[in-house]
Structures are given as C-alpha cells and as structure tokens.
Structure 1
C-alpha cells in the first residue's frame, strides 16, 4: 500500500484541487481511492473537477468541512487530498441523498448500495454525513442493520466554517447536501481509537421529554431552566458560552460516556442538541479543561498507532467544538496528536460536526470527541 497526502490553499478552486491532488499522487502513484476534504471558501464543483482530472478512474469520497488537518496541522482554508494505491486495495463508493427524510431507511439504502457494488467481503466503511442533518444516529442504525458487524465504521459529520448554513458531501457520482458520502475500503487494516477527556460532575439526571434533537424537559422541569440551574448560569443570551463547557454525558458500558452537545436555547424553554437524545435517557453533566482534553488527544494517537505492523497512514476526526472551546490552545491539541506519529506517516483529517466510530462494536455518533485510525 502506498499513501500520498497533498494540500493547497490557493485562492482559485481549480488550482487548489489540482495542486493538492498532484502532490498526493506523486507519492502514491495512480490511486484506487481518493479522499477529498475542502473548506467552504471554494466552489466545490470546480475543486472536484480539477481533482478528477488528476486522479483518473480512482474512486472518490469526501466532504466540505470546517477545517482540514494535514500532517497534524489545522488549516481553516484549503483542500486536503489523500490518495491510496496498492495491490489488493479495493474501494466502492455511494452518495445517498436526502438523509434527513426517513433517516433509518436511507441508512439501509446506503448499505444496500455499497453491498451491491462491492459485495459482502469485510472492509472499512468511511462515512461523511451532512453534520446539519437530522437523526444521523438513525442513519447509522439503518446502515448497520444491512451491513452488520463484519465491517468497521469510521468518519465524521461535514460542516461549513461555522455559519451553519450549508455543507456538501461528494463522491465521483457528484455533489450534494443533506447526504452521506460513503466508501467501503478493502485491503487496508485500520486500528481505531477514540477519547474525549470529559468527566462527570454532579448527580445523574433524566431527560423526561424529548423528540429528535430537541430536549423539552429534564427531571420533569423545562430543559433550559433545569440545565441552567445545574451549571449555575441563567443568561439565555450567554447559552453558547456555558453550554460549550458543560455538555451532557450518556453512560455506556465500561464506565465510559457518550457526549451530547447542547447547541441552542429555544424560545419555548427547550434545548436543541447537536445529536438526538432519546426520551427517558439517564445523563450526567460533564466538565473538562485544557489539560484533560490534551491528555485525551495524546492518548488517542498513542493507542491508534499501537498496530501489529508499521502504520502507513493516520486519519483523525476532531470535533469542531473542541476547537471552539480551546481557542489558541487548539494548536497544542494538534501537537499532542502528532507527538506519537513518525514524520514519514502521512496524516489526513478534519474538524467534524460529530464523529463516527464502531469501536464499541456498532457505529455510533459522538460529540466533542476525537476519533483516530492508523492504517497499514
């Protein structure tokens, strides 16, 4: 297996796509699968057209993201490309549109299409859902219902540069919004790891009324009222400031927590979350600081790189809310991830609107988390 990584922040979208692709292909040779990550400063069609001219018949998968990570450095503007070639490496892709409508069924349809194109031989499913879409967790359940436990799943929600307006997902089939771009890759082994650095604080609480991403009541009280009392803050206008510091944690097996990120205080006293929270869910308020987040970043790269053979690539999906929370300290998170990565290992990644991993056995959608995978 040969892997190449390229990057360009050229102003012209065609030039950025071409330069980044040429850099990657010079390292990998003619690719079997090409990963494309762009920021929303570009005409996506022109970027993709330029990339396709360079990569030829390679399969293509990717998305528009808030930030591109190349060789453990974050870029807020640019095009990042990862190309993979080698004997035995195989890939198929699928672009499933309109995932907000009947999300579970759309996940099933995506799984059916991937199996029809590539067969049932186990591999790794790389996923880029629209991070603004409703019920991504349902989408993943539908996908898993069709494809099952023989596959591993990894990816991240796409997004824009924090305008929360529109984002794009793409394969060689085309470009869409409200879609999931998916690829099944075979012939590459991946070791995945995830960590977040958040810890529980206070007593458990119960989400007593919720629908989709909106929580109406916590402990039988209006959600905003109860949540604000728990964190000791009451100014609705400052909700984003304190909600970023105090997400909810849903306990799971092994004493770990899945993080759920409050997004917006609603006029009716409810709270809109980034990801769905089922009614009657037990949750705990979580807290973290720079030290705990950085420790999680170092841990995730160290564990992912503990592979039985020398890794040849490293992928990282790092939640955009960690970037917003840490501010200037986020460069230290990149340094913590890079600490365990040898200089010759190409790194590609993104700031994500939610992270996907099947490290628990089934694909789950995470918030405020780092998911990493080393491939060989």
Structure 2
C-alpha cells in the first residue's frame, strides 16, 4: 500500500551520467512521486544528467541546482548527485521558473511564488526557492515572493554554487538547464513543515560605517576604499596574482555582519571585489549608512548553531517525526569546519532526525523567511523539516 506521504533521498558519486539514474533509483521508493529535487556538481554534463533523471521519472516535476558541495544522509560529498523525491496524496506540488532573473529579481521572485497549490484539505504550505546567487541582490527575490504570498507562507531555499569559481551557476527545471534563473516548488501538505535558521558567527574588531554603497556593492567603509579597509582589518597583504577566487576564499571565513535593530546580526557573504575601484561585492544588499563588523567563527560555534537550527526546525512539527530534512548550508561554514567538521555536522543532522533521510547542498546564500519581510541570509544553516 502506498503511504499517504513519503520522502526519500538517493545519492551517487561520480561524474558519469548514470550517477543521476543511480541516485533516482534509490529516491523513487514509490510510484506516485510528486516532485524531484536535485543537487549536483557543476562538473557534470548537466543536459545528459537531466536526461537520465527524466528517463527514470518521466513527467515528474523537477527542480534543482548546481552546488559548492552536496549533502546526503551518508555525509557531505563533491562531484556527486543527490536526489530527493516526495510523493503521496498528502502532498500537492506545483513548480515554476523565471529566467533572465537579474533584469528584475523582485519580479522573478513574484513570478515563481504564484506556483503555490491552493488546497483547503492541505493547509500546511512552503515555497522552496533555488536561485542564481551571482545574479544580484538576492533579498529582492524574497521581497518579490513576499509581495505575492504575504506573511502566511514560509520561504526556504538557497543559492546555487559553482564549486567556488564565482563565474556561473546553473538551475535545473524539468528538462532544462538554466542560468540567471530562479526555480521554485510550491508544496502543500496535510502535515506541518519546520524551519530552523542559525549561523554561529560573532563580531571581531571595530565597527565600520558603510559610507558609500549601491545594492550589493560596497564602495567605501569609513570613507575609505572598502577593499582596502577590509584587508587592513584582517591584516592580510594582497598577493601579486590576486583574483576573485583568492578573495572569495579569504572571505569564506571572514564575512561581514550587518547590525539589525533586533540585536541579531545579519551575515553577508563577500563574493568578490573590484581590484581597480577597490570595492566589495556581496550576495545581498548592504545599505549605505549601515554599521558592519567583520565576523568570525570556529568549529564549536558553528556546530552549536547546527544543533540549534535542527532543534528549532523539529519543534515546529507539533510532535510529528520528520519524513526528511533539507539542509541549505553556506559554503563558508564548510570552510570553518573543514573536512572532518562537515562530516560531524551531517552526522549530527542525521542523529537529530531519528533516521529520517537528509539532503541538501553547500550554498552561496540561504533563504528562510518565517516572519517579517527579510528572509535572505549568508554564512548560515537553514534546515527544513518535512513533517
């Protein structure tokens, strides 16, 4: 007998196209799948991979993206494919995609938010968003989705990666490999969803005033070139062969913290900079006049945040055991934890979920809006528990 609701995860290592088929075989435990969610390495032949997946599950809606590393129940990996399938009459799913998103990110968020199913018998809802984190101010996507759905529907998801090259990411939608896009799945369920959001970073050094910025680019801090101030605070000498990858790797473990009125810093991932005009580029907006700090963390603080995010997520399930967990974990946290630490982190996730499957990826930014308008995060772990 088919269960009323089910969720399963499959994963496969290797860059051959059959990796997708192997992962899908494990995820498709039942014959009434409503959705496939795919996370994979940028190194795959993406059109061929999608063709394999579609052959395994013809007609099943599919969303996904490339990553900066994949997460499955067995642990973190690279150059792999992770497939999550969910189905059963207790779920209803609709999907959508918005291309050329960078031309109007707010409009892209609004367009895909309209895919949420309307079913009175399935009162619990969530919108999963996967976006191109290199397309501009990601908070605009959240604002656009919020303008359609309001405060009653939580938003959750992450920004696609390209193994830290910071050049181009890809989003997957049914048969298509996209870039500069937002893809979404609106899910309605007869059981609750739970979301947990924690980062584990703390302020270091002196505060800096953003004296010139526009959207997600910071030009000056304390009236001096932003890149110069940032490197001076870190006491780092700029190498002769400087490039975007060098700066991105440095910024992985030294994000900016943006002071908020509620006293909780919002973390901003520095994705690159302009070595001529000496500016910094972030994944989301840093408003002029804001007070910012350089942030740091260690393995202990990051793992404590993991535990707290899981606990918050599970507490929202009203006592139900989770069917599965999706984790959207910033690549920067991976940089702090190291190879051994990320294995411990995923082990903790799996242990807390009492055997429920885990899937996810290392992101360039995280989405979690459960209250208020703001819902874009950096250097943060977002956990979605499916009840």
TM-score w.r.t. the length of structure 2 is 0.89
Match of 1:201 in 2: 204
Match of 2:258 in 1: 250
Q: CA deviation at 1:234?
A: 4.4
131-140 or 88-97: bigger deviation: 131-140
Equivalent-residue separation in structure 1 for 2:314 and 2:69 (angstroms):
23
Equivalent-residue separation in structure 1 for 2:209 and 2:223 (angstroms):
8
Q: Describe the SS at the equivalent of 2:93.
A: strand
Q: Describe the SS at the equivalent of 1:348.
A: strand
Equivalent-residue separation in structure 2 for 1:127 and 1:87 (angstroms):
23
Match of 1:57 in 2: 59
User: Root-mean-square deviation (CA), in Å?
Assistant: 2.1
Residue pairs, 1:228-307, within 5 angstroms: 228-235=231-238, 237=242, 239-240=247-248, 242-266=250-274, 267-306=276-315, 307=317
58-67 or 197-206: bigger deviation: 197-206
Equivalent-residue separation in structure 2 for 1:232 and 1:19 (angstroms):
48
Q: Which residue of 180, 189, 194 corresponds with 1:191?
A: 194
Question: Structure 2: which 5+ residue stretches go unaligned?
Answer: none
Equivalent-residue separation in structure 2 for 1:228 and 1:79 (angstroms):
37
Equivalent-residue separation in structure 1 for 2:74 and 2:382 (angstroms):
14
Match of 1:340 in 2: 352
Q: Describe the SS at the equivalent of 1:95.
A: strand
Aligned length: 370
Match of 1:5 in 2: 9
8 Å CA contact 1:60–1:171 kept in 2: the answer is yes
Closer/same/farther in 2, CA of residues 242 and 34 from structure 1, 3 Å limit: closer
Q: Which residue of 322, 325, 328 corresponds with 1:314?
A: 325
1:25 matches 2:35: no
Q: Which residue of 356, 363, 366 corresponds with 1:355?
A: 366
Closer/same/farther in 2, CA of residues 257 and 72 from structure 1, 3 Å limit: farther
Q: Describe the SS at the equivalent of 1:255.
A: coil
204-213 or 228-237: bigger deviation: 228-237
Equivalent-residue separation in structure 2 for 1:374 and 1:52 (angstroms):
26
Equivalent-residue separation in structure 2 for 1:176 and 1:68 (angstroms):
19
Closer/same/farther in 2, CA of residues 244 and 169 from structure 1, 3 Å limit: closer
Closer/same/farther in 2, CA of residues 337 and 346 from structure 1, 3 Å limit: closer
8 Å CA contact 2:129–2:155 kept in 1: the answer is yes
Equivalent-residue separation in structure 1 for 2:249 and 2:377 (angstroms):
20
Equivalent-residue separation in structure 2 for 1:244 and 1:351 (angstroms):
12
Equivalent-residue separation in structure 2 for 1:126 and 1:65 (angstroms):
16
236-245 or 41-50: bigger deviation: 236-245
1:205-262 deviations in Å (ceiling 9; x for gaps):
2211012222111122221233233333343657556533332111235421110122
8 Å CA contact 1:30–1:55 kept in 2: the answer is no
Equivalent-residue separation in structure 2 for 1:327 and 1:289 (angstroms):
10
Equivalent-residue separation in structure 1 for 2:86 and 2:345 (angstroms):
26
1:7-57 deviations in Å (ceiling 9; x for gaps):
1224421x112111111112x432011111111121112222221222233
Equivalent-residue separation in structure 2 for 1:38 and 1:196 (angstroms):
24
Closer/same/farther in 2, CA of residues 6 and 368 from structure 1, 3 Å limit: same
Q: Describe the SS at the equivalent of 1:233.
A: coil
Equivalent-residue separation in structure 1 for 2:152 and 2:371 (angstroms):
13
Q: Describe the SS at the equivalent of 1:201.
A: strand
Equivalent-residue separation in structure 1 for 2:54 and 2:108 (angstroms):
27
Residue pairs, 1:130-169, within 5 angstroms: 130-169=132-171
8 Å CA contact 1:18–1:51 kept in 2: the answer is yes
Equivalent-residue separation in structure 1 for 2:250 and 2:308 (angstroms):
26
Equivalent-residue separation in structure 1 for 2:184 and 2:300 (angstroms):
34
Equivalent-residue separation in structure 2 for 1:12 and 1:240 (angstroms):
29
Match of 2:104 in 1: 102
Question: Structure 1: which 5+ residue stretches go unaligned?
Answer: none
